[in-house]
Structure 1
């Protein structure tokens, strides 16, 4: 009998889009006619899940053409090295590119969080499950990544299947972005807006806590850009999909405020 839990199973969340990861971390596979695209890259221990899922349809890592990183944190970059070695192009905003080249632990230097984790853990001891999960899944063993493509503007990435539109979302990290696939009606928000926030025990659209956010005021201001986007299914880095559109999601996250 498989030991994989329901939350660890691959789930189709939209036509041509599947969610991988587990109950705490999401990353996504976009099956476009021009090639496969990963949006974010999970944790190192997710490699078996990704390989098994691709093999179930006769494919392999070599069929992934691009990886779009919403930011440089270690729970979003864990599979970058093996997927890049298999031939995929890696894309990240230039403001987070140094996190990749210096290794996953460098995020504390390049995008230091506003607050210590200690107050959150004292108030809600169960919140320690998040960092422990990242450690168990190999998050702190990631290697530096070289040769990634970086961008600074919000122009569509013409070289990537589906021509995704990056939407700058500075705040969680300096180079946080969302990716809009207009033809698919989906918006990948990474950690610029999540629907599960374990440090404060919140479900529903919100910002990530200040214990993991570099500039919460900037993150709050970035919600205005999300609210301007057309209707789309929001697919966050943590938590379930949100079907009521960017404007409603931004409004709820704004009302929840900074924590």
Structure 2
């Protein structure tokens, strides 16, 4: 299996190998330990999530690779407030005035008023496992312990989302965090699942539809049942927060997940 941190150095990570276009106008970016997505159409572009704080240079490179300018981003949509998804949001807000949007239920988390992140103690208890130790070391180097919250974030509305590139729709999939959401692009048959459904993670060798380790969830007992809100969503391209993209009907991925 490829080294999950093979591209963790600024000289090693290259958009030519880490950016793909699994559907027209959807640029899927695999960062060193988490993913983000660029969605482009004739009206401009948005980001879905933004990696760790230490991934900012990679985020900027990926935008340039897609032929776009960071200052022109119409919004960053945050699937949930964990630091490996909000990492560049505060910088974009300060530097470019980019609107940072999330679900109403997640707003306090994204703004830094609440904390639903895995505790350092939980990780240290498992640090005897080499994969956990390597992931923890990477997360610390990537700025997980001193990330700036996106204090100017705002709650999205359905009407506001519809006006953005790709006409995204938010689907609340609570459990991973209180306001965790997946972002559905109905017209393209694409869904950005964030951490509602992933396809890989540095803590495991497993590939394919799966859930994160329970220690990452606010309510680990509900995360699997919460995915039933995605039943009936017609998507054939799945863009997860961790792991590679999947060209698979979402219904098949969910069945595999629950099996």
Change (3 A) 1:37 1:247: same
In structure 1, the residue matched to 2:233 is 229
Structure 1 residues 57-81: Cα deviation after superposition (integer angstroms, max 9, x where no partner)? 6632111001111100000000001
In structure 2, the residue matched to 1:216 is 220
In structure 1, the residue matched to 2:5 is none
Change (3 A) 1:126 1:144: closer
In structure 1, the residue matched to 2:187 is 183
Change (3 A) 1:197 1:50: closer
In structure 2, the residue matched to 1:96 is 106
Give the drift of 1:163.
1.8
Structure 1 residues 181-231: Cα deviation after superposition (integer angstroms, max 9, x where no partner)? 112221000001100133343221111111111112321112212232113
TM-score (normalised: structure 1): 0.85
Change (3 A) 1:48 1:160: same
Alignment of 1:1-259 (within 5 A): 3-5=11-13, 9-56=18-65, 59-85=68-94, 86-102=96-112, 106-108=115-117, 116-117=122-123, 120-122=126-128, 124-151=129-156, 157-255=161-259
Distance, in Å, in 2 between the alignment partners of 1:4 and 1:174 is 36
Equivalent residues of 2:161, 2:169 under 8 A apart: yes
Equivalent residues of 1:21, 1:42 under 8 A apart: no
In structure 1, runs of 5+ residues without a counterpart are none
Equivalent residues of 1:21, 1:46 under 8 A apart: no
Give the drift of 1:55.
3.6
Does the residue aligned with 1:107 lie in a helix, a strand or coil?
Answer: coil
TM-score (normalised: structure 2): 0.85
Change (3 A) 1:252 1:10: same
Distance, in Å, in 1 between the alignment partners of 2:30 and 2:234 is 27
Does the residue aligned with 1:204 lie in a helix, a strand or coil?
Answer: coil
The root-mean-square deviation of aligned C-alpha atoms, in Å, is 2.6
Does the residue aligned with 2:155 lie in a helix, a strand or coil?
Answer: strand
Give the drift of 1:51.
2.3
Distance, in Å, in 2 between the alignment partners of 1:185 and 1:227 is 14
Equivalent residues of 1:185, 1:233 under 8 A apart: yes
Distance, in Å, in 1 between the alignment partners of 2:183 and 2:66 is 26
Equivalent residues of 1:197, 1:206 under 8 A apart: no
**Please, which moves more after superposition, 6-15 or 162-171?**
6-15
Distance, in Å, in 1 between the alignment partners of 2:126 and 2:158 is 35
Give the drift of 1:84.
1.7
Distance, in Å, in 2 between the alignment partners of 1:90 and 1:25 is 18
Give the drift of 1:49.
2.1
Change (3 A) 1:205 1:250: same
